[in-house]
Amino acid sequence: MSEVVVQPCRGKNEPQLPACGLLLVNPFEARQAAQLTGQNGWTRHFLFHSNLHLAQTPPMFWAGPAVGAPMAVICLEKLIALGARRIIVCGWCGSLQADLGLGELVLPARGISEEGTSDHYPVAGAVESSPRLRQALKDFFAGTGKEPREGVIWTTDALYRETREKVVRYGKAGILAVDMECSALMQVAAFRRIELAAVMMVSDLLWQDPWQPAFQSKDFRRRSQGLVADLVQCVTTLTATE
């Protein structure tokens, strides 16, 4: 393999991160996390066009937003360089299944890549999200009434080129949903040998004709806000038990 010119690294004045934290890909969740943690002594640090917030007790972090595979991977690489080893990703996805409704949760086990970032991180064999983190998430959500649906997700860079033919074909193949980051993040996690899992909230129904989005609805925003609070609590629990 040819030598890489630019390596992710920790700069002189950059923080050492605790092992476990959150990557919130969407601006809405990042704003919610800032409000949730802003009164609790979290410190803010530089992270490109994103944000990085760090807590000392319990030791954890959250970062975001980072929309799309290239930006999400840039942030993930930096988080790993700063010390992150167990990362839970929070984002949105579009449902491909009629029995997967708005506001429901998806727990991606594997990804089908139609993004351009994964190929730059060659890994032998099939790539999946961390089984240990997936199980921890399932255990956490089991008592909340928000139990996620586990399965395969389709990731694309081309939001505006999600064709009806692909939606039908991937849906018939049993693929649950589509997003813009997951397959790349799982690939980088495997390449860098860290643990990563994702929880995606269904924000729109691609299987329905015409397409039905819910990004701006009050109910969806309320559920999304609740998911951020749940995941902060989940990471707190993971940190306390390790």
State whether CATH 3.40.50.720 applies to domain 20-240. Answer: no
Mean pLDDT (whole number) for 145-154: 94
Q: How confident is the model at residue 1, as a pLDDT? A: 65
Alpha helices in the chain (DSSP H): 27-37, 69-81, 131-142, 164-172, 182-192, 218-240
**Nearest 5°: phi and psi at 161?**
-125, 30
What whole-number distance in Å separates Cα of residue 201 and Cα of residue 107? Answer: 9
Match 């930096």 to its residue by tokens: 78
| pLDDT of 106 strictly over 90 | yes
b/e burial code for range 16-25 (CB count within 10 A of at least 16 → b): ebbbbbbbbb
Q: How confident is the model at residue 146, as a pLDDT? A: 87
What whole-number distance in Å separates Cα of residue 88 and Cα of residue 181? Answer: 13
Q: What is the pLDDT of residues 152-195, one digit of tens each?
A: 999 999 999 999 999 999 999 999 999 999 999 999 999 999 99
Q: How far is CA 74 from CA 60, 62, 70, 79, 169, in A?
A: 20, 15, 6, 9, 31
The encoded tokens of residue 138 equal: 């399932």
- Whether pTM > 0.75 for this model: the answer is yes
Q: What is the pLDDT of residues 46-84, one digit of tens each?
A: 998 899 999 988 899 999 999 999 999 999 999 999 999
Closest CA to 91 of 187, 155, 160: 155
Which residues does 219 contact at the CB level (< 8 Å), separation at least 6? Answer: 102, 103
